[in-house]
Amino acid sequence: MRTSTLLSLALALVGLNVDAFNLADVKKTTSGSIVPGRYIVEFDSNAHLSSSGMKREAATPHEAIYNQLKERSTAYTVHQEYSNDLFVGASITLDSDLDLANLLSAEGIIDFRQVHLLNLPAQPVTAQSYQWPAAAGLTNSTVASSSSTSSSKPSTTTTCTGFSVLSQIGADSVHASGNKGKGVKIAIIDSGVDYTREPLGGCYGPNCKIVGGYDFVGDSFDGSNDPVPDNDPFDQCYSHGTITAGLVGANANQYGVTGVAPEASLYQYRVFGCNGATTDDIVLQAMQRAYDDGVDVINLSVGETSGWTESMLSVFASRLSAAGVVLAISAGNQGQVGAFYSYSPGAGIGVINVGSNDNAFYPSQLATVSTGYGPVPYFNYKAFASGTYPLYAFTTDPSVAADGCTIPDGTPNLNGYVTLVRRGGCSLEQKAKNIYLQGGRQMFLINTANTVPLYQNFPLDFGMISLEDGNYLLSLITNHTSTNTTVTFTFNPYQSPNTFTGNITSYFSEIGPTNDLFLAPSIVAPGTNMVVILPTTMSNWSIVDGTSYSSPLVAGSAALYIASKGNNNVSPDKVKNALQSTADYLKTSVSDSTIANVAVQGAGKVNIAQAINPNVVVSPSEILLNDTSYFAGTQYLTLTNPTNKIVKYKLSNVPAGTALAYRSGMNQSNDQPVPQVSAPATVKFSQSSVTLLPKTTWVVIMQFTAPTGVDAKQFPIYSGFIQVSNGNDNDAIQVPYLGVAAKMKDMPVLDPTPDYLGINSPTILDESGAVQSSSGHTYTFQGDSYPTVIYRLVGGTPLLLIDLVGANASLGFTPNYNSRRSTTSMQLKREISEAVQLEKRKINSVNSWNLNSWTSTKTNSLISLYCQLTNFKGKGCSAYNTGKSNTFAKVPILGNLYENDYIPRSTDNADGQKGDYSTFALQQARFANGTSVPNGTYKFLMRALHITGGRTKEADYEAWLSAPFTIAQ
């Protein structure tokens, strides 16, 4: 998602005034991005070899599964098929919910996920977006340019080769060494690409920059209709894929924005149509094809909110990484909503999850003034139309608050002038449109003091200038015009220093960690004020913000690293280790020298030059300490001296700020900027210095102690860096570490307070959208007469269930979200067993994965859903938790209505992207397995599993029992 830098800073400085929640806006549907009835189903690769009871032998696992479905009279449609050594399965739509249990019970099915709809960020605004007609009665006569000779040279001289960010990540020096990624194959899974653009090679196929790829969808695909695939990923209707391709590998061009790996071979896989929507089963197919095509690196600037490593795309990304493919995946652009809100598939284990830091400069052009003042930077990546122009101002009075908001009587045709207006009083578009309709085609907007500049694409030349420069130019004006002073425009790009937020993590960049406490993001790269290549139908160039545009820089950096090693089977973990350990950690802000939390910046900003030539090689490149229940305080750091000299290395702990993820005294998450406190972890080293002979290795033992004196209910995320230095801090490497000074199992899930929704929740909304009476209500299921449950999740959950129980059922436990809660009672009542029966979770490196481990047994989530659908009467459901007592299954439910796995928490809509509540609508009186619910009086039972909780242990769930309601069809 594209984010305005100005908006980001404004929200950070003054706070966001979130609009009050309006119950009338709630849609009476089941929320979420799920495609109804469609599933990604994974098959055991040996399913066709062990399918007992089949009427005939099957040649493939697919045939074995399809035969079983046909024998059970299950109607289905196959959309995609997957068949390689990483994933065997299919994307299937069932014609009836009645057949879901048949599908899940088939022999040879081992995993199952619902298909989700994915959307790309909005298109960059281009000049074609504005169609302002010329005003009647105005001609295009041009005011004659006056000329004068400058009496002195400009006060500053500048040298600029364009708007490249390569120097900010060390890629310029790598290019200078001759390494531009030649021989490396990079896949870009995105929208398509306009390869006719000269910086992208101008052609498609062998001997071109875009050497291969595939279009999986066609122009008209919107995520709900049938795709129309072909072999050509050409695309001029959606710019995102062209932008990412340019950032990865563009040739030298007029704006100086050469790609990070301009000599790499690019493969473009188009998975989005012209409206920027797709489904994750198509993305999975593209990931599989990229792997089959033998690419070295994949860039995925796509994703969806998840918070977990367990989504299907994240799981497959993990497998790709384990199988030797480097993946750079954008972290997401909802950092405004706070911590524990990572994206999929960037949450995959072993992938490089890429966040954004703010660009060190603002792209601008330089104008010269005939008086010799300046030059004057104006904030537009494009130069104004070449020429020399006098100035015009509606007023030079700074007290006029609405300068340019209306056109004063007597204003001449403004064509041929540079019109000056001050900021404020009305929208920038209104000011620009007024000038345009008065004939003006050049406009300087005078900024206010100490305010971030911004960019606009209007159908006239628009540029913001500083207050100082604006006041100077206004001083030259008499009676609305400058009679003896002109401004001259040529193509003269200039990198105006970003003194506001340069080299600080972007406000919108996603904040981790995942709910299972893996690091996200892994690393950051510049992602704001990026001058990028667009299709020819979209003005060729634009300026954009987002982690979508940080990720390609890291994908290109990975290619440079691989090329530097001679393509000698460089493993993904080595690439990730090199990029993370040599990254440059970032400060909290330009005015705060404390180090930003690792959950915000990962390992820091990528430095590919340092990664290729480090003074020491370390492993691991990130240290995950877990929570207090599963604290992994003893860690090992392996040091290798890659040089030909004897080197003495010193180790030290460099703490970062401890982020308070939840609000004090409340079970609500903190928005960005997430407060940081000084509460560091301590580290004891087995030795604080190590002297290594050339090419030798040593292991240092580290004992971490989590910070004390912090409020566990705020879920403090503590972090820092283990620094390894050879005496030169500029060459030091840093290994990030992160832990949570609380039990993740104690993180609240269901929000019982009226703080956000204004009502006690969860609750039932009736057909009118009002809160149902606690005494009950009758629904006929005619028209809008059906109940809708509304709820919020203040924490992520591995499993959410809504079941139907009898109105007078004895549950065997007391639901802990059944009574009304006041706004001042924020302590959540829980009846949760403190005995932890789960085996201590171990965080293993990708290297320890066995590529055969995912092709044998059914997953817990599949078993859980199957047993829910059959009310625990299905085969193996009576005690599927390895024979232990299943207290969860003893609850007398009548049937399951809704089940969802690995769900992220809700937000407070601080980013304007919604996600602030969820709904479940019982629009038909049917259970999830398709059978009808008899008429009668019932209650909803909602249960949400705590993080690290056991699926078969009732005490590990938060539960809500609804008011009674009657079904009378």
Q: Within its chain, how far is the Cα of 14 from the centroid? A: 24
CA distances to 8, 125, 144, 582, 719 from 722, rounded to whole Å, are: 31, 43, 65, 12, 10
Long-range contacts of 134-141 (CB under 8 A, 24+ apart): 134/436, 134/437, 134/439, 135/437, 135/438, 135/439, 138/413, 138/415, 138/437, 138/438, 138/439, 139/413, 139/415, 139/439, 140/415, 140/439, 141/413, 141/415, 141/416
Give the integer Cα–Cα distance in Å for 329 and 351: 7
User: How many other C-beta atoms lie within 10 A of the C-beta of residue 634?
Assistant: 10
Q: How far apart are CA 557 and CA 399, in angstroms?
A: 51
Count Cβ neighbours within 10 Å for each residue of 233-257 and write b for 16 or more, e otherwise: bbbbbbbbbbbbbbbbbbbebebbb
H/E element, 669: none
Q: Cα separation of 530 and 543, whole Å?
A: 5
Which candidate, 113, 196, 41, places its Cα nearest to that of 534? 196
**Closest to 958 measured CA to CA, from 967, 946, 966, 941:** 946
Tokens of 706: 């989590």
CA angle 82, 83, 85 (to 5 degrees): 125
In whole angstroms, what is the distance from residue 763 CA to residue 741 CA?
33
Give the active site residues: 190, 240, 548
The owner of tokens 């066609």 is 218
Asked whether 414 and 478 are in contact (CB, 8 A), the reply is no
Rounded CA-CA distance 497/504 in Å is: 13
Contacts of 689 by beta carbon, 8 Å cutoff, 6+ apart = 648, 649, 650, 651
Burial zone of 136 (CB within 10 Å; 0-12 exposed, 13-18 middle, 19+ buried): exposed
Q: How far is 15 from 21, CA to CA, in rounded Å?
A: 18
Residue 25 CB partners (closer than 8 Å, separation 6+):
none
Nearest to 714 by CA among 686, 680, 739, 741: 741
**Per-residue three-class SS string for 54-87:** CCCCCCCHHHHHHHHHHHCCCCEEEEEEEECCCC
Helix (H) or strand (E) holding 860: helix 860-869
Q: Which residues of 816-839 are buried (b: 16+ CB within 10 A; e: fewer)?
A: bbeeebeeeebebeeebeeeeeee
Beta carbons within 8 Å of 71's beta carbon, 6+ residues apart: 54, 55
| Bridge-based pairing state of the strands 733-740 and 623-626 | parallel
| Euclidean distance between CA atoms 871 and 890, whole angstroms | 10
Cα(751)–Cα(21) distance, rounded to whole angstroms? 15
Give the C-alpha separation, 324 to 344, whole Å. 20
Q: Amino acid identity of 614?
A: P
- Residue 668 in contact with residue 756, Cβ under 8 Å? yes
Q: Which phi and psi angles does 23 have, rounded to 5°? A: -60, -30
Judging by DSSP bridges, how do beta strands 733-740 and 763-765 pair with one another? unpaired
Distance CA(428)–CA(408), nearest Å, equals 17
